[in-house]
Every structure is written in C-alpha cells, then in structure tokens.
Structure 1
Amino acid sequence: MKRSASSIAASLVLAGLLAGCSTVSPEAKVRDKLIAAGVKPHMAGCMADKLVHKLDYSELKELNRVAKLPREHPGALSFDELTYRLQALNNPHIVSVVTRAGLGCAIAG
C-alpha cells in the first residue's frame, strides 16, 4: 500500500504535536518540586516561573538537590531550613534568586 507525500507529512506533523503535548515544561517540574517541599500551589507557580528564567540548568539541579526531603516527611521543609540549606550551597546567585522570587511572589499574593 502506497502512501502519498501529503499523508506522510500529515502523520509526521501529528506525531510531532503529540510528542510536544507529552513533554512537561521546566516550569511545571519546578512547580511540582516546590509543592512537594511544602510551598502552596499558587506561590509555587509564581516562583517556578521566576526560577526557571533566572537560574541555569545546573543551578536548578543544585536547588533541587538541596530542597529534597526524606520521603517520610513530604512538605516539611520550613523557611528556616530552606535558608540554611541554600546558604550551604555557597552560591550567592541561587540564594538571591530564590529569596527575590519568594518575596516577590509573597508580596504579589
């Protein structure tokens, strides 16, 4: 059975669209991690957008590592604990971006 060029092209476009729908945006991944750490969903969404645009991939990985919690205590990361862990990274840029994002989102409500 022969397929026409337009049929093949349509199939490729459809496959590309479906593949695009199945990928999760970096903002969504960061938002989900923040929620898992105990940040309220609205605040997490606000912060995730800012963090993804201000931190590079390696900094996001560092932030993810420092914010991980033991599985038995999801959502238990206090602000003081987060601050302590951020300072331990010894990366002033990450500390600044996270602090500004948190304060900005808290003020924006």
Structure 2
Amino acid sequence: MRGFAVAVLGASLVLGGCVEGIARGRVQAALTHAGLSQPMAECMAQRMVDHLTISQLRKLEALQGPKRSAMDYVAAVQRINDPQVIQVTASAAGACVAQVGPSGLGSLLQ
C-alpha cells in the first residue's frame, strides 16, 4: 500500500511539472507575440505561472490586438479587470527589467 502511495505522489509531481511547463511555454509565446523579447518573455512567464491560476493565465493568453508600446500592453492587461493579474504582470515586468535589462522589453518601448 505504501508503494502505491509513493507511486501516486511521484506521478502527481511529474504531471504537475508537465502542466506547469506547458503553461509557461504558452504564456511565454503569448508575451513574445505581444512584442516582448525572448529573454523578457521567458523571465516574466516563469514568474507569472508561479503566481497566477490557469484561468488567469488563459485570460492573459487571450489578449488580442496590436500592442505597440508598454502603455498599450498595460491597458490590455487592465481590461482583464483582475487586480491580481495586473499586480503579478507589473511585478514580473519590473523584476525582469532589472534582471534582463530595459532592452529586454523589445518593441514595447517603441
């Protein structure tokens, strides 16, 4: 019985990691599509996946439309009308600018 419990726990951890990896990849792709550089998108996606639910991440992924500046992206995120999504996105962006550098924002600074 104990072996079964260990196997179930191990499978849960592996599957959880796979789901997180898939979510991170999708968020990263959405951020890159929104105009962020690859390093910035990677950094932000890691932080966002750790702090947002799958439902909240899907809302971010569904953002459509041209995003030519940082203000356009912030306005798009604010339309989600979820304070946690706005806070996590802003926090991830700030931390990642410090880590990746301002050039990591790519076309969002234009």
Q: TM-score range by the shorter chain?
A: 0.5 to 0.7
How many residues get paired? 81
Contact 2:23 2:54 in 1 (8 A): no
Distance in 2, Cα, partners of 1:26 & 1:94: 15
TM (norm. structure 2) is 0.66
Partner of 2:42: 45
Gaps of 5+ in 1: 1-20
Moved >4 Å (runs of 4+): none
Report SS of the residue matched to 1:39.
coil
Q: CA RMSD in A?
A: 1.8
Match for residue 99 of structure 1 among 90, 104, 107: 90
Partner of 1:84: 75
Q: What amino acid is aligned across from residue 83 of structure 2 in structure 1?
A: P
Gaps of 5+ in 2: 1-17, 101-110
Where relative contact order (Cα < 8 A, 6+ residues apart) is larger, the structure is 2
| Greater Rg by CA | 1
Structure 1 residue 96: deviation in Å?
A: 0.1
Distance in 1, Cα, partners of 2:76 & 2:30: 16
Distance in 2, Cα, partners of 1:53 & 1:101: 11
Partner of 2:62: 65
Distance in 2, Cα, partners of 1:51 & 1:62: 12
Q: Which has the higher helix share?
A: 2
